[in-house]
Structure 1
Amino acid sequence: KDFKTIPTIDKNNYLRAYPLDKLCWDGQLKNNRWTISATSGSTGEPFYFPRTADQDRQYALLAELYFRTNFQIYKKSTLYIVGFMMGAWIGGLFTYSATRLLAEKGKYNMSVITPGVDKQGIIRAIEKLGPYFDQVIIGSYAPFLKDVLDDGVRLGIDWKKYNLSFIFSAEGFNEEVRDYILNIAGNKNTYTSTLNHYGTVELGTMSYETPISILTRRSALRKKNIYKDLFGDTYKLPTFTQYIPELFYFEEIKKTVICSAFSGLPLVRYDLKDTGGVYGYEEVKQIFKKNDINLLKSCQEAGISDTVWNLPFVYVFERNDFMVKFYLCDIYPETIKKALQQKELEKSVTGKFTMIIKFDKNKNQYLEINTELKARVKENIKLKNKVLLLITDQLLKENEGYRAVTKLIGKRAAPLVIFWPYEDPLYFKPGTKQKWVKK
């Protein structure tokens, strides 16, 4: 009760308001042994966050739970390929440190290679090293990993020869992407062969998808009433994860997620600026029961009963600052992703794009969607019309504001689709995370 009276803090009113040394435990920056990571600066100037081995051990604990539960590393020799960004960014180095810690602690037959965001490096590692191990797990960003697999297919690689599984981070994705990646890999274990993290540079890896959370999300997509009861009346699809409250204490305030944790900097009731919410384990079961579904029975039928953790759930949507404002409506990347990831386009476009609001010579606003073609695919008017139709239909289907704009300005509401060659450096530079929105 008293804890809830503590004011919330965020980057602006706390982190940027004081010198970095004053923010550290005991006001000490120089007299310690830190690993320092930087934010990517996607929502402002980069900020530097120190952490200690304690945070590496926290991540190692979470990772050990899913490596044992999902991937059975206690009985399978494993090659983990770290395909996250190396350097000052947290993803790659943090993952490497935690993975080495858990491998040494548990005496697991687990080896790590760190090509980072390097497609050819990842492909070579799988081809040259994969056959020596019972399984290969790749950790990377979903859109980038999809490109890696597509490139491999184009090079004649049969991914089904390798026992591949996948760990994602940094952004959400829809279930079509999960299915696409598993299909290329020849892996049919929908619930145990992939998972997504929820983490930030401030607090590290806070939660992750479990088999029951994936089943819950997929069930909600099939049953509109469950979706509405869980996530509200929205077309946006959140990342849905479980967490250990003794390590990361989540709260929901006005549909915003805040967290308190033992991080490199003391952060109490830290506003993550993520829209979402928190559920207890029993609350989720009751939502399913209300809709005449026994969640645990569904887990049993899916063959994942032995993976279920009695842990609370946290869900987060795409951040509000990752969208464009087109006249009176907000357009989120999620809608465009759904359009470009439809099956009829999977041989033509990669699914990656960059949205920009521009103005024509008459100072009229328009929505430009820069879209990446797959390798060796040439643009043509038929493909452009198909992409435009799918994007427009998806916007009209789920965005009430866009429907209103279309009534208001007619054909001028239609996006301008511009195709770019595969890996064109202007919007699709290799080795970087995709920027879905440019402002």
Structure 2
Amino acid sequence: MKKLIFAIVRAQDLAVRLLARRVSTHKLLLLPGIEPLRWRLGLWRALRTFEASARRVPAYREFLTSKGFPHELPDSGSLTKAFATIPEMDKDSYIRKWSITQRCVDGELPRRGVVVDESSGSSGNPTSWVRGPDERVATRVLLQVGFAQTSNRLPKQPFVLNAFSLGAWATGMNVTTSLADVTMIKSIGPDKDKIIATMREFGTDFTYIILSYPPFLKSLFDDERLDWSTYDIVAAFGGEGISENMRAHISRYAHSVFGSYGASDLEINFALETDFTVALRQEIARNPELARLLTRQHEYGVLPMIFQFNPYNYLIETNQAGELLVTITRKENLNPRIRYNIHDRGHVTRLRELLPILRRSGLGGIVDKKLLDFPLLFHYGRSDLSVDFNGAVVAPDTVRDVIFGSPELIETIENHRLISYEDDAGDRQLHIALQLKETGPEIDQDQVRELVFSELRRLNSDFDHAIVTSPTSALPSLACYSFRSGPFAEDGSKLKNEYVWQLAAGDDGRWALKTEHRARP
């Protein structure tokens, strides 16, 4: 059975290899009506990549042996069930235990064509990732196909302004190298002055596609030095999710606002928002029954981002903890990742499961927006960047949704942070720190505290119960801090915003946290 499957996979790999270097021919893989074939081939390719990695990657052989797992799957029974028994890996259990060379195919780095980038280190020290020439070609074509779907509908010549952080970080450099052949692009980095100067210099004859992280995009469009209404703008974001209120805020300046999902650990872009997923997310946000049917919003307390992905290239599962396991099915990757746990929460729904629910709910208008018959990825944010409070789990994404769900707060709050620390009595405390904008209206901290805590309690029933049952001394606190002061004094020195701090005993005094502003039942 497996011999026949792998022969089929080798044949289609050869066909795709001949076609995939051109965007126009690669679009054949996106044709509607072949979703079951994509899904099946993706599983087969993942099986092939697993067994090839078990044979040829020294670190992976040792990893499987340490787990007592065979280097081949059985040749009978359900292949889906067999694949689900493969041990999952993550940064701690695999990446940090073996060297980069040991994690490479055949245990060696090619002498030429390898590009090294690094992750931001938001969950620890930055990690280097090596990408070989075949892998980079595959990534480039996928980005170009996604870009072509957007740019072909634009009213003017596209001009990409890459405002992701540049240098060795994965997103900025890969976006530039991938799109340079198919569009006009300027790699600026997150520099508002240079973006505004560039747009003034080139004028209004272009559609500017501005790529960056959500907080930077919002900060950019809040800059009044440019009359944004005279420019045609598309905003594309990555790195973190947004609330629908924040999308509406950015949409005042950009006629389209779309996000992508990726990770330096895997690839910078393997799932995208589409017209369909944005419309569906907005309907879920205002329809509690639909949210109950399709999401785990009540459990996690946050509205999920919704993306579509190609199962031919990525096999995405959910483990018992609700975390995503991603397998890159292609064999071109220099460092294969098999059932890699990036510690994000989420789940996958295929369209054949979703569409009947939408039709029964009278949402045919959303169905009409379906452009790609790709499965949907519901993403709830990082599983390991939440804070425990008296048995409740509080996520920074939930605080984000509260901030951007309020017209008052969205105009005054620059950033937020959950700070968990141990006080002098040995009790674990939760402090919500809000950074004010550099220039903004005056605020009433008592009103802000009441608004934020009431919304958090409404969105998260466990948090509501935790507050009711907590003694006064253990109630969570909230305070607003001036721009770049207190716990935000060093903001701007790192690539990405930090939304969670877990502090050791005694560390809370370092920033003079204003913990007198506590929640009340």
TM-score normalised by the chain length of structure 1 = 0.86
Write out per-residue CA displacement over residues 385-420 of structure 1, whole angstroms, 9 at most, x where no aligned residue: 221111111121122232223223355524231322
Give the 5 Å matches for 1:397-416: 397-409=458-470, 411-412=472-473, 413-416=475-478
Gaps of 5+ in 2: 1-78, 503-521
Distance (Å, rounded) in 2 between the aligned partners of 1:272 and 1:357: 22
CA contact (8 A) 1:37 1:88 kept: yes
What amino acid sits opposite 2:420 in the alignment?
I
Distance (Å, rounded) in 1 between the aligned partners of 2:380 and 2:163: 24
Q: Describe the shift of the 1:299–1:76 C-alpha distance in structure 2 as closer, same or farther (beyond 3 A).
A: farther
CA contact (8 A) 1:340 1:390 kept: no
Is it true that 1:173 corresponds to 2:239 in the alignment? no
Q: Which residue number in structure 2 is paired with residue 228 of structure 1?
A: 292
CA contact (8 A) 1:355 1:437 kept: yes
CA contact (8 A) 1:118 1:431 kept: no
Distance (Å, rounded) in 2 between the aligned partners of 1:161 and 1:206: 33
CA contact (8 A) 1:38 1:201 kept: yes
CA contact (8 A) 2:277 2:308 kept: yes
Is it true that 1:90 corresponds to 2:170 in the alignment? yes
Distance (Å, rounded) in 2 between the aligned partners of 1:344 and 1:383: 11
Write out per-residue CA displacement over residues 188-239 of structure 1, whole angstroms, 9 at most, x where no aligned residue: x4xxx12111101122111111111111111111221221221123321222
Q: Describe the shift of the 1:64–1:119 C-alpha distance in structure 2 as closer, same or farther (beyond 3 A).
A: same
CA contact (8 A) 1:213 1:242 kept: yes
Q: Which residue number in structure 2 is paired with residue 256 of structure 1?
A: 323
Give the 5 Å matches for 1:369-380: 369-377=432-440
Distance (Å, rounded) in 1 between the aligned partners of 2:341 and 2:87: 10
Is it true that 1:384 corresponds to 2:445 in the alignment? yes
Q: Which residue number in structure 1 is paired with residue 344 of structure 2?
A: 274
Find the residue that maps to 2:408 and give its secondary structure. Answer: helix
User: Displacement, 1:359?
Assistant: 4.7
Q: Which residue number in structure 2 is paired with residue 336 of structure 1?
A: 399
CA contact (8 A) 2:349 2:377 kept: yes
Alignment identity in percent? Answer: 23
| Correspondence for 2:366 among 283, 298, 302 | 298
User: Displacement, 1:55?
Assistant: 3.3
Distance (Å, rounded) in 1 between the aligned partners of 2:343 and 2:424: 36
User: Displacement, 1:241?
Assistant: 0.7
| Correspondence for 1:160 among 219, 229, 234 | 229
Q: Which residue number in structure 1 is paired with residue 188 of structure 2?
A: 115
Write out per-residue CA displacement over residues 62-102 of structure 1, whole angstroms, 9 at most, x where no aligned residue: 3333333333268741110111111121110011111114x
Task: Compute the RMSD of aligned alpha carbons.
Answer: 2.4
| Correspondence for 2:220 among 138, 148, 158 | 148
Give the 5 Å matches for 1:61-80: 61-72=141-152, 76-80=156-160
Number of corresponding residues: 412
User: Displacement, 1:9?
Assistant: 2.2
Is it true that 1:57 corresponds to 2:148 in the alignment? no
Find the residue that maps to 1:66 and give its secondary structure. Answer: helix
Distance (Å, rounded) in 2 between the aligned partners of 1:75 and 1:61: 24
Distance (Å, rounded) in 1 between the aligned partners of 2:339 and 2:429: 40
Distance (Å, rounded) in 2 between the aligned partners of 1:362 and 1:253: 37
Find the residue that maps to 1:345 and give its secondary structure. Answer: helix
CA contact (8 A) 2:277 2:306 kept: yes
Q: Which residue number in structure 1 is paired with residue 304 of structure 2?
A: 238
What amino acid sits opposite 2:262 in the alignment?
G
Write out per-residue CA displacement over residues 172-199 of structure 1, whole angstroms, 9 at most, x where no aligned residue: 111111110011x1x4x4xxx1211110
CA contact (8 A) 2:306 2:378 kept: yes
Q: Which residue number in structure 1 is paired with residue 15 of structure 2?
A: none
Find the residue that maps to 1:86 and give its secondary structure. Answer: coil
Distance (Å, rounded) in 2 between the aligned partners of 1:410 and 1:7: 42
CA contact (8 A) 2:280 2:366 kept: no
| Correspondence for 1:135 among 202, 207, 221 | 207
Distance (Å, rounded) in 2 between the aligned partners of 1:274 and 1:358: 23
Q: Describe the shift of the 1:410–1:359 C-alpha distance in structure 2 as closer, same or farther (beyond 3 A).
A: same
Q: Which residue number in structure 1 is paired with residue 379 of structure 2?
A: 316
Q: Which residue number in structure 2 is paired with residue 418 of structure 1?
A: 480
Is it true that 1:23 corresponds to 2:103 in the alignment? yes
CA contact (8 A) 1:144 1:433 kept: no
What amino acid sits opposite 1:115 in the alignment?
I
User: Displacement, 1:434?
Assistant: 1.3
TM-score normalised by the chain length of structure 2 = 0.74
Write out per-residue CA displacement over residues 153-190 of structure 1, whole angstroms, 9 at most, x where no aligned residue: 2x3x210111011111111111111110011x1x4x4x
Larger radius of gyration: 2
Distance (Å, rounded) in 2 between the aligned partners of 1:147 and 1:288: 36
Distance (Å, rounded) in 1 between the aligned partners of 2:106 and 2:244: 45
What amino acid sits opposite 2:219 in the alignment?
D
Q: Describe the shift of the 1:50–1:288 C-alpha distance in structure 2 as closer, same or farther (beyond 3 A).
A: same
CA contact (8 A) 2:430 2:476 kept: yes
Query: Structure 1 stretches (4+) deviating beyond 4 angstroms?
Result: 359-365, 422-425
Q: Which residue number in structure 2 is paired with residue 107 of structure 1?
A: none
